A and B are shown apart, each in its own frame.
Chain A
């Protein structure tokens, strides 16, 4: 057990936790917008995969991580366009289309990867970190939290940005209304379909960005099924957060610590099946739900396509 609790180990553990948490955070924040606007977005796993693949392709061929993030977000948004057309505009069943999109993107990205990269498995160089002066000199915490790629700080800032949008802007109110009482929003002269489309596209872009981060910064390469359920975790986080972005952040960090612990244990050579550690965050959340059993405050019209004049 030597070195398990040394400073270096601890800060590496926390650093890994942040790296693992960022894709979950972005996915959770993305899902939150859709859910707020009344769209249950089960296709988010597919959007993340599209983002991971296109983000990697963009970064690999251009040599620029930022371009990779851009193509990743665009890829996620492109999948979201399909979702918005099918589920928001013509009102197909959101669960059918969401799962179908996830399956399709799983297959498609794996297929493209096979023809493009499966012989060479190219890697990206390690992402250069933005070191925050002074703060990064704090022992343990400094190297863990303040030596990340710039996008990490932006993602955390986004949490507060989202909070502001939800609480203080017209758009935030519109989103809320589109999920709770779309008919009222419609009567107020605001296009429900457009509001929901904006929400779904934002979800796609954020999920795509999360996927791109996962591939480009987290792993440095794209492999098939790289998201490994991160999108579904995002759905869980969004539902647990009850519409508050800050809770998505806390949740993502909790899951991030457990994911990071899994890798750290393996590195430290401790012989516990990683499956047991992977169970920890879910156990923690389930216990919380059993103890506090709070009613989920989901938007009233979640999952119901809006049709003007229906009933």
Chain B
């Protein structure tokens, strides 16, 4: 039993490639995105004023660090890598009408697997092969982790929101247990996995600090987008998402497709964990949980599960989180304000879309 999204979303799910995009459309889209973001900044600024912080100084730092300073933009682009993989995984699941809310657990298990395997592999095989193997087993572990919710949904009709939420709690704890007991680096006092040497990590792009994981992430989300919109397999998944009963009647093997969707979605979340570890962090500390998934889920919805739009939203999230961290440090505001900012941006964007939709409808009528 699935929970349908708002009718507007299911309707657009099938006609994802609406042929010609005119210049006015693009301008309109841009306006409908930038306008609400500005409005959100103003609202959040009022909160800053209320707690006695100069909002202009805050946003100045956010923009400077997140967007305009060379080091900052590199960090922003680096942060995008895991988020893009997560978004790609969510696009597959949501378009197929399955609520994989277990991204964080799958992400962490992928991260721990990569962190445990990469330092061992680099000693016994060439670096490129070692990293590829780490990526692959991180993906497979995350896929296996999604198998129980997938099978329960496919063959028993057990709602996947419950099972994936529970598996994410389980996965978070299991990742901690693995870090503390199984893969703990004996050389450190703080429980963490062995650190992958910097020279063995994913190469940086050119002369910058940007991880090449960014390219992998971009490739992943674009491939997912094309598969979902341009291939027969993608069409099958979207039919399952739009109307599971119609899918059964048109002869699709819904249980098999369900398991496939979960595997792809979780595999991408596992890759997100791996790309963060192998590209950036180098190890997993105990109790490390960046909880990226929670912010990416609404962003994917606002992007209407469109891969290219999702890239934009992920970029926005990264700017806000990297810039927000820096601004918070400099102005003595706790970093938590970033959460408030992201939340207001999400709500205002959702509202703007609603009013835009209403306006278009009334004009057509």
**Taking the nearest CB of chain A, how far is it from the CB of B15, in angstroms?**
18
Query: Are A91 and B173 CB-contacts (below 8 A) given A111-B334, A236-B165?
Result: no
Residue contact B6 to A295, C-beta cutoff 8 Å: no
Residue contact B347 to A86, C-beta cutoff 8 Å: yes
Is A101 an interface residue, CB under 8 A from the partner? yes
Tell me, in angstroms, the Cα distance from A103 to B345 when the chains sit together. Answer: 11
Interface of B: prevailing SS:
helix
Is A157 an interface residue, CB under 8 A from the partner? no
User: How would residues 322 to 356 of chain B score, 1 for a CB under 8 Å from any chain A CB and 0 otherwise?
Assistant: 00000000000110111111111011001100100
User: How would residues 39 to 71 of chain A score, 1 for a CB under 8 Å from any chain B CB and 0 otherwise?
Assistant: 010000000000000000000000000000000
Residue contact A106 to B336, C-beta cutoff 8 Å: yes
Is A136 an interface residue, CB under 8 A from the partner? no
Tell me, in angstroms, the Cα distance from A289 to B343 when the chains sit together. Answer: 34
Residue contact B301 to A286, C-beta cutoff 8 Å: no
Is B62 an interface residue, CB under 8 A from the partner? no
Question: B157, B298, B337, B347: which contacts A111 (Cβ < 8 A)?
Answer: B337
Query: Are A96 and B346 CB-contacts (below 8 A) given A239-B159, A298-B1?
Result: yes
Tell me, in angstroms, the Cα distance from A37 to B173 when the chains sit together. Answer: 33
Q: Which residue of B lies closest to A114 (CB)?
A: B334
Q: How large is the interface on A (under 10, 10 to 19, 20 to 34, 35 or more residues)?
A: 35 or more
Interface of A: prevailing SS:
helix
Residue contact A100 to B170, C-beta cutoff 8 Å: no
**Taking the nearest CB of chain A, how far is it from the CB of B131, in angstroms?**
28
Residue contact A294 to B158, C-beta cutoff 8 Å: yes
Is A235 an interface residue, CB under 8 A from the partner? yes
Q: Which residue of A lies closest to B287 (CB)?
A: A275
**Taking the nearest CB of chain A, how far is it from the CB of B301, in angstroms?**
5
Give every chain B residue within 8 A of A40 (Cβ-Cβ).
3, 161
Give every chain B residue within 8 A of A307 (Cβ-Cβ).
7
Stretch in contact with the other chain, from A6-14, A163-171, A276-284: A276-284
Is A99 an interface residue, CB under 8 A from the partner? yes
Stretch in contact with the other chain, from B64-72, B113-121, B176-184, B212-220: B176-184
Is B32 an interface residue, CB under 8 A from the partner? no
Give every chain A residue within 8 A of B51 (Cβ-Cβ).
111-112, 115
Give every chain B residue within 8 A of A112 (Cβ-Cβ).
51
Query: Are A95 and B301 CB-contacts (below 8 A) given A110-B334, A279-B170?
Result: yes
Residue contact B167 to A100, C-beta cutoff 8 Å: no
Is A293 an interface residue, CB under 8 A from the partner? yes
Residue contact A96 to B301, C-beta cutoff 8 Å: yes
Is B174 an interface residue, CB under 8 A from the partner? yes
Residue contact B336 to A276, C-beta cutoff 8 Å: no
Q: Which residue of B lies closest to A283 (CB)?
A: B170
Residue contact A96 to B350, C-beta cutoff 8 Å: yes
Is A265 an interface residue, CB under 8 A from the partner? no
Is A188 an interface residue, CB under 8 A from the partner? no
Residue contact B344 to A282, C-beta cutoff 8 Å: no
Tell me, in angstroms, the Cα distance from A285 to B169 when the chains sit together. Answer: 12
Tell me, in angstroms, the Cα distance from A108 to B339 when the chains sit together. Answer: 8
Tell me, in angstroms, the Cα distance from A114 to B336 when the chains sit together. Answer: 10
User: How would residues 249 to 291 of chain A score, 1 for a CB under 8 Å from any chain B CB and 0 otherwise?
Assistant: 0000000000000000000000001011011001101100110
Query: Are A298 and B159 CB-contacts (below 8 A) given A104-B339, A232-B165, A278-B173?
Result: yes
**Taking the nearest CB of chain B, how far is it from the CB of A61, in angstroms?**
18
Is A302 an interface residue, CB under 8 A from the partner? yes
Tell me, in angstroms, the Cα distance from A310 to B6 when the chains sit together. Answer: 12
Residue contact A276 to B1, C-beta cutoff 8 Å: no
Query: Are A302 and B3 CB-contacts (below 8 A) given A100-B343, A114-B334, A283-B170?
Result: yes
Is A220 an interface residue, CB under 8 A from the partner? no
Is B54 an interface residue, CB under 8 A from the partner? no
Give every chain A residue within 8 A of B9 (Cβ-Cβ).
93
Is A156 an interface residue, CB under 8 A from the partner? no
Give every chain A residue within 8 A of B177 (Cβ-Cβ).
273, 275-276, 279
- CB neighbors of A among B180-206 (8 A): 180-181
Residue contact B334 to A275, C-beta cutoff 8 Å: no
**Taking the nearest CB of chain B, how far is it from the CB of A126, in angstroms?**
29
Is A203 an interface residue, CB under 8 A from the partner? no
Query: Are A107 and B161 CB-contacts (below 8 A) given A96-B302, A276-B177, A304-B7?
Result: no
Residue contact A97 to B347, C-beta cutoff 8 Å: yes
Question: B3, B156, B161, B354: which contacts A293 (Cβ < 8 A)?
Answer: B156
Residue contact B158 to A289, C-beta cutoff 8 Å: yes
Residue contact B350 to A86, C-beta cutoff 8 Å: yes
Residue contact A103 to B342, C-beta cutoff 8 Å: yes
Question: A93, A289, A295: which contacts B5 (Cβ < 8 A)?
Answer: A93
Residue contact B169 to A282, C-beta cutoff 8 Å: yes
Residue contact A93 to B159, C-beta cutoff 8 Å: no
Is B223 an interface residue, CB under 8 A from the partner? no
Tell me, in angstroms, the Cα distance from A55 to B231 when the chains sit together. Answer: 53
Give every chain B residue within 8 A of A134 (Cβ-Cβ).
none
Q: Which residue of A lies closest to B324 (CB)?
A: A107
Residue contact A99 to B161, C-beta cutoff 8 Å: no
Query: Are A275 and B294 CB-contacts (below 8 A) given A92-B351, A100-B346?
Result: no
Question: A102, A236, A276, A294: which contacts B173 (Cβ < 8 A)?
Answer: A276
A96-B350, A275-B177 provided; 10 other pairs, C-beta below 8 A? A93-B5, A96-B297, A100-B347, A103-B346, A107-B340, A111-B336, A232-B165, A298-B1, A302-B3, A311-B7
Report the 4 A-B pairs with minimum CB-CB distance, sorted nearest first: A107-B339, A104-B343, A293-B156, A110-B336
User: Can you name 9 A-B residue pairings with CB atoms under 8 Å?
Assistant: A40-B3, A92-B6, A95-B5, A95-B297, A99-B295, A108-B340, A111-B333, A293-B156, A298-B159
Question: Contact residues of B with A, CB < 8 Å?
Answer: 1, 3-7, 9, 47, 51-52, 99, 148, 152, 155-159, 161-163, 165-167, 169-170, 173-174, 176-177, 180-181, 294-295, 297-298, 301-302, 333-334, 336-344, 346-347, 350-351, 354
